[in-house]
Amino acid sequence: MLTNPNYAGGAVGLRWIDCSAAAHRHMLTCALPVQVESYFFDIRRQLFEYDQVMNTQRDKVYGERRRALLSADLSGQMVEYAEKTVDDILEVCLS
């Protein structure tokens, strides 16, 4: 842990500031909140994008689940999954 009183680090990155000058104190009090807000805004944006991907995947999984539960015969779905798997493997191997 750094114990330098002029260190302002953490989520906003490493910044060495001479806090003895009034201009630098003003910069510190004005710039850091903006940088922190920007940092947390980016985190919220990435979390929202991740949540959208998870919702899409969840919808697909529950859709397939519902289709399997409502189906009387699952052999058609199993053949479809096997064909998709073989196609995916061949695509990777032949690329």
Per-residue pLDDT reduced to its tens digit, 66-75: 998 998 888 9
Q: How many residues does the chain have?
A: 95
| First-to-last C-alpha distance (Å) of the chain | 50
Burial of 27 (0-12, 13-18, 19+ CB in 10 A): middle
Which token pair is 47?
């979390």
3-state DSSP assignment of residue 9: coil
Per-residue pLDDT reduced to its tens digit, 14-47: 555 555 555 555 555 666 777 888 889 999 999 9
| pLDDT recorded at residue 38 | 87
Which token pair is 95?
């690329």
User: Does position 1 have pLDDT exceeding 50, yes or no?
Assistant: no
Question: Among residues 46, 3, 18, 11, which one has the least CA distance to residue 32?
Answer: 11
pTM of full prediction above 0.85: no
Would you kindly state where each structural domain of the chain is located, as residue ranges?
22-94
